[in-house]
Chains A and B, each alone.
Chain A
């Protein structure tokens, strides 16, 4: 068989294109830029992750210039797709304002929309999220909505015009991994727009298990930034996302409660 002679193909050659709102992205791993020990550590980890989409936050410039915190001094915007977030917003109006400011920076009209409803868990405010999604979608924004892992919320966000829905694996920065495989699988099964799991992934096995649910991608930040060695973790996450994605596409074997021998039962010695 000729397939036995063909060399191993890279993961991307075995995958389908990753497209959001008509734009193809080269990596299903999206990464944040917050909380790194240094800007160098951030850049090296992002490079190791292979991510194309990197998230950034909108904040006041420190006018005293005690430190140069503008990320564009460190991150070359021509090498990445900058996805601004509305982190820190607790009301739809605030999130809309932040999104408009981000768009005025002139890179793109995409936004990772967060409307937070609870300070302790940073869980989304569903009503505010839907309102802001409608407003921004009507203004031409490509809204990727950070959502809880609730099917009905996800369906409403899609109806409201979100180009992708981003349910959490577990709370932001928690590293608890994928808490509800069933919810994530159901959301992916029912939505037409891409589903990108955002938040909660802690280590490579979490990313792999998440991708095995069939979702289109994962966005993570703290799992890389808070690892003892962000470059190694970013490399591991890149492999884990590929592994989980390919395992999903490959279609896993059925689970059985009893053993089934792998070797033939015929030809055993008397």
Chain B
């Protein structure tokens, strides 16, 4: 069996329902920066666990198969 070379360089977590390619070793903080999202204006759920402490974003390494939901407030009644 050969090494799975693709997965050693990229990961594909599912973000808001869509698989996204990120370089291996990326953190939640990296993902938000890639998406140009202000961490203060969004809430992040990682594998159904809400990340209540924004300070932990840069310590959280992502992996293929992770499910991430990034939500915010929109107009509603």
Contacts and interface: CB of A to CB of B under 8 A. Distances in A.
A32 B74 CA distance: 11
Contact of B76 (A34, A61, A70, A101): A34
> Size class of B's contact patch?
20 to 34
Which of B16, B37, B73, B77 has most A Cβ within 10 Å?
B77
B69 A60 contact: yes
B77 A55 contact: yes
Contacts of A221: 76-77
B75 A82 contact: no
B77 A172 contact: yes
> Size class of A's contact patch?
35 or more
A59 interface: yes
Interface in A65-95: 65, 69-73, 82, 84-85, 87
A70 B77 contact: no
A71 B77 contact: no
Nearest to B70: A61
A220 to B, nearest CB: 8
A85 B77 contact: yes
Contacts, number: 95
B75 A56 contact: yes
B43 interface: yes
B16 A101 contact: no
Given A72-B41, A101-B50, A104-B43, A61 B72 contact: yes
Contact of B74 (A56, A63, A104): A56
Contact of B75 (A34, A61, A102, A199): A34
Contact of A100 (B50, B73, B77): B50
Contacts of A56: 73-76
B18 A105 contact: no
Contacts of B69: 60, 101
Interface string B10-48: 000001111000000000000000011100011101000
Nearest to A105: B43
A57 interface: yes
B59 interface: no
Which of A63, A73, A199 has most B Cβ within 10 Å?
A63
Contacts of B70: 60-61, 63
Contacts of A87: 76-77
Contacts of A219: 77
Contacts of A70: 41-42, 72-74
A18 interface: no
Given A100-B50, A104-B43, A104-B52, A35 B73 contact: no
B43 to A, nearest CB: 5
Interface string A219-236: 111100000000000000
A87 B77 CA distance: 8
A72 B73 contact: yes
Which of A61, A65, A73 has most B Cβ within 10 Å?
A61
5 contacts: A35-B75, A60-B71, A87-B76, A104-B50, A219-B77
Interface of B: 15-18, 35-37, 41-43, 45, 50-52, 69-77
